[in-house]
Amino acid sequence: MNIAFLSDIFYKLLSGVPLTLNLTIVSLIGGGILALLLNSMRATLVGNAVASAYVFLFRGTPLLIQIFVIYYGLSAIPFIRHSFLWTFLREPYWCGLLALILNDAAYTSEILRGAFRAVPPGSYEAAKVVGMTPWSTFRRISSPIALRQAMPAYSSEVVALLKGTALVSTITLMEVTGIASAAVRETWRAIEIFLCAAVIYLTLSLLVTWLFAYAEGRLSPWLFREAR
């Protein structure tokens, strides 16, 4: 082990953190919006079938294959190569991001669905019986309760997505894992380099976990604080 080499590689890997975070955060936003759309589709029979098929497809196949299909597969379709989509889909960044968004949406929509189903029926009835409109009930009663209930599962999804971004290194994106594998190819010092990368992911995961624990405490104080 060589401290100078370690710190050198550590700084190199850190330069990949912005891209890792960028992919994670943008995917969470995009995936979250798509998940909400998927869930609102479930109100109708056809929409429900479409949403279920979507979730089945994206949860049932490896993220790596989804990335490859989008990056290598779509470029093989002439229609796409000749459309405006090509300005985005020829870039590995947009392909990777698209795969992550689509994948995250499937998981997040399932988390949301479970959370909304776990809202106590009595809370809906109490809202109905005071004369609330369905929209107010959604806004003021069911969403706040459901989102709080979704937090523990959602924090796992955020960590899973954070680690999932490592897979876009296979389509040439130089985030933390991409930089690490490039460095390994140059130096053949796999253990030091990959351990360094692991420490970075571990730290980020820890931050996410703390953030969610804090948010949970703020959002659901009755679970943590004693009565005044």
Partner 1 sequence: MNNTNAKPAIAIKALRKSFGPVEVLRGIDLTAKDGDVISMIGSSGSGKSTLLRCIPMLETPNSGEVTVGDDHIVHNGRKLSKSDNATARGIRRNLGFVFQSFNLWPHRTVLQNVIEAPVHVQGRRHHEATEEALTLLEKVGLAHKRDAWPAHLSGGQQQRVAIARALAQRPKAILFDEPTSALDPELVGDVLKVIRSLAEEGRTMIIVTHEMGFAREVSSRVVFLHQGQIEEDGTPEKVFSNPASSRCKEFIGSHFQRNR
| 43 lines the binding site for partner 1 (CB under 8 A) | no
Binds partner 1 by CB under 8 A, chosen from 123, 156, 170, 209: 123
CB of 225 to partner 1, least distance (A): 8
Binds partner 1 by CB under 8 A, chosen from 126, 190, 202, 207: 126
CB of 50 to partner 1, least distance (A): 24
| 186 lines the binding site for partner 1 (CB under 8 A) | no
Taking CB under 8 A as the binding criterion, the range among 69-77, 91-99, 175-183, 217-225 that sits at the site for partner 1 is: 217-225
CA gap 158, 180 in Å, rounded: 22
| 215 lines the binding site for partner 1 (CB under 8 A) | no
Q: What is the DSSP letter of 225?
A: S
CB of 139 to partner 1, least distance (A): 9
| 120 lines the binding site for partner 1 (CB under 8 A) | yes
Q: What is the DSSP letter of 91?
A: S
Give CB contacts under 8 A, 24+ apart, made by 151-155: 151/212, 151/215, 151/216, 151/219, 151/220, 152/212, 152/216, 153/111, 153/114, 153/115, 154/108, 154/111, 154/212, 155/208, 155/209, 155/212
Binds partner 1 by CB under 8 A, chosen from 28, 38, 102, 145: 145
What is the amino acid identity at position 227? A
Nearer to partner 1, 78 or 122 (CB): 122
CA gap 107, 163 in Å, rounded: 15
Site string for partner 1, 147-166 (x = CB under 8 A): -x------------------
Sequential DSSP letters for 162-200:
HHHGGGGGGGT--SHHHHHHHHHHHH--HHHHHHHHHHH
Residue 8, helix vs strand vs coil: helix
| 131 lines the binding site for partner 1 (CB under 8 A) | yes
Largest CA distance in the chain: 70
Taking CB under 8 A as the binding criterion, the range among 12-20, 121-129, 150-158, 166-174 that sits at the site for partner 1 is: 121-129
Q: Which residues bind partner 1 (CB under 8 A)?
A: 120, 122-123, 125-133, 136, 140-141, 144-145, 148, 220-223, 226-228
